[in-house]
């Protein structure tokens, strides 16, 4: 089921943010974890919010991930999330876990809430300990607000090698009430499918249980965050977290609610927007690449083929060089092990047909070169094997990616 089928009911909230849904505040400070930049932030809900998260699939899950899992498992609800950049607090053993617990406790004390109502997230260099003195001092300086500059400050504090903030905000009418979702994320490198590559935070005033929210988030993640890749590496820290405080006062949302698909579309559009912004901001990237596959045996295989194409280093380098080498695309399709007929595949790069029923098509190299020099590239594939369809997003692979990652710690 394509959950974005309800997009006609969804409105973009201009200049909206994680603070647009009712009842949320943020704060951020430069605690000195990463020089003089903003590096410590909090999202706070005035009311206890039913919450859900999906986590990295990397086996070396960082301490903040474990602490957040424990918080959500306690009651399925949160009132705050605290985030630092500059230090991942990953692969730091017992001390790292104790530091994450202390970070949670200090935040709870500052906000006057239970420890287990706080989620913890960290991003940055792996294998280094958090400077807890700086964390503690920074938390004391936090001053919550709900102005646009407060949202911008938080969105800035979570960035590492990112070149831009990622944010979105959408609303829809449910039960005659305006339900809003705001989101922000960070991610530029170590981006690869299976929800292992970024931090993303979504706030909503929707009335929904943590159980149904978790199921919804898992489904939309498979069609959004799990469909992006920059470099094929998965991180130790990252997650997508949603807080729903119910302040829109709609009837409780369940799969039986008549407007359940509207909510799913709202959540799906939010996650897709953030996922595409991450792919566009890939380290060293010059182009956003979207691959659309149809005609697969099912949606799952269509998404897998799309990921294989957008994740291929040969495809990515060809796009960087504006080389219309469709052979690299067909090679990626063949490596996917998807169900297909090798005699019925169509490939187009933008409006230019390259392959039809697996037969090469004549095309203008000049026209292809001009298209591939644009900053948004689309690749279309039709396997003619079923009704499955799916998309994936990524970026080109440039010389700058190597420069950035060769000197990441310095």
> What domains are defined for the chain?
3-278 (3.60.70.12), 288-406 (3.10.20.340)
**Residue among 193, 214, 209, 201 nearest 50 (CA):** 209
pLDDT by residue for the chain (410 residues), tens digit each? 444 445 578 999 999 999 999 999 999 999 999 877 999 999 999 999 999 999 877 777 889 999 999 999 999 999 999 999 989 999 899 999 999 999 999 999 999 999 999 999 998 888 899 999 999 999 999 999 999 999 999 999 998 767 778 899 999 999 999 999 999 998 754 444 343 347 999 999 999 999 999 999 999 998 888 888 754 445 677 789 999 999 999 999 999 999 999 999 999 999 999 988 887 776 667 888 999 999 999 999 999 999 899 888 899 899 989 999 999 999 999 988 899 999 999 999 999 999 999 999 999 999 999 999 998 999 999 999 999 999 998 888 776 666 655 654 54
Is 57 a residue of the active site?
no
Task: State the catalytic residue, choosing from 68, 197, 204, 262.
Answer: 197
d(CA 166, CA 109): 29
Q: Name residues whose C-beta falls within 8 Å of residue 61's C-beta, 6 or more positions apart in sequence.
A: 55, 236, 237
The model carries a pTM of 0.80
Calpha distance 248→95 (Å, rounded)? 41
* DSSP for 194-251, written as a single string: TT-S-EEEEEE---B-HHHHHHHHHHHHHHTGGGEESSS---SS-EEEEEE--TT-PP
Q: Is the dihedral of CA 349, 320, 377, 392 positive or negative?
A: positive
The phi, psi pair for 344, rounded to 5°, reads -130, 25
Joined together, the tokens standing for residue 196 give 């292992």
Distance CA 278, CA 288 (A): 10
Contacts of 258 (CB under 8 A, 6+ apart): none
Tokens of 158: 């979570």
Residues 6+ positions from 13 with CB-CB distance below 8 Å:
20, 169, 170, 171, 180, 182
H-helix segments, 143-193 = 148-157
């Amino acid at each position: 089921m394509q959950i974005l089928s309800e997009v006609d009911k969804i409105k973009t909230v201009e200049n909206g943010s994680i603070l647009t849904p009712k009842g949320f505040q943020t704060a951020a400070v430069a605690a000195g974890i990463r020089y003089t930049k903003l590096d410590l932030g909090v999202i706070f809900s005035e009311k206890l919010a039913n919450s859900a998260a999906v986590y990295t699939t990397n086996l070396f899950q960082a301490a903040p991930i474990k602490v957040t899992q424990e918080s959500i498992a306690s009651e399925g609800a949160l009132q705050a999330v605290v985030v630092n950049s500059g230090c991942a607090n990953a692969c730091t053993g017992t001390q790292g876990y104790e530091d994450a617990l202390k970070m949670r406790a200090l935040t709870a004390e500052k906000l006057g809430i239970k420890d287990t109502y706080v989620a913890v997230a960290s991003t940055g260099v792996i294998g280094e300990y958090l400077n807890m003195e700086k964390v503690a001092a920074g938390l004391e300086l936090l001053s919550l607000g709900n102005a646009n500059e407060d949202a911008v400050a938080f969105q800035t504090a979570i960035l590492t090698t990112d070149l831009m903030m990622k944010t979105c905000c959408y609303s829809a009418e449910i039960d005659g009430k305006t339900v809003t979702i705001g989101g922000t994320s960070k991610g530029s490198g170590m981006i690869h499918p299976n929800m292992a590559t970024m931090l993303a935070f979504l706030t909503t005033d929707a009335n929904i249980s943590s159980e149904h929210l978790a199921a919804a988030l898992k489904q939309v993640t498979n069609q959004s965050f799990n469909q992006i890749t920059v470099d094929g590496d998965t991180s130790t820290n990252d997650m997508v977290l949603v807080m729903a405080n119910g302040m829109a006062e709609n009837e409780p949302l369940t799969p039986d609610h008549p407007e359940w698909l509207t909510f799913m579309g709202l959540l799906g559009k939010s996650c897709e927007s953030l996922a595409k912004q991450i792919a566009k901001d890939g380290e060293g990237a010059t182009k956003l690449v979207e691959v659309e596959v149809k005609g697969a045996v099912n949606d799952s295989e269509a998404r897998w083929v799309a990921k294989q194409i957008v994740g291929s280093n040969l495809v990515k380098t060809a796009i960087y060089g504006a080389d219309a080498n469709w052979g690299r695309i067909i090679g990626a399709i063949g490596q996917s092990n998807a169900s297909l007929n090798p005699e019925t595949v169509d490939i187009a790069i933008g409006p230019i047909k390259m392959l039809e029923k697996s037969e090469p098509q004549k095309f203008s190299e000049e026209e292809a070169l001009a298209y591939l020099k644009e900053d948004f590239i689309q690749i279309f594939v039709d396997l003619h094997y079923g009704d499955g369809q799916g998309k994936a997003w990524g970026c080109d692979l440039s010389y700058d990616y190597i420069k950035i990652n060769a000197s990441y710690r310095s």
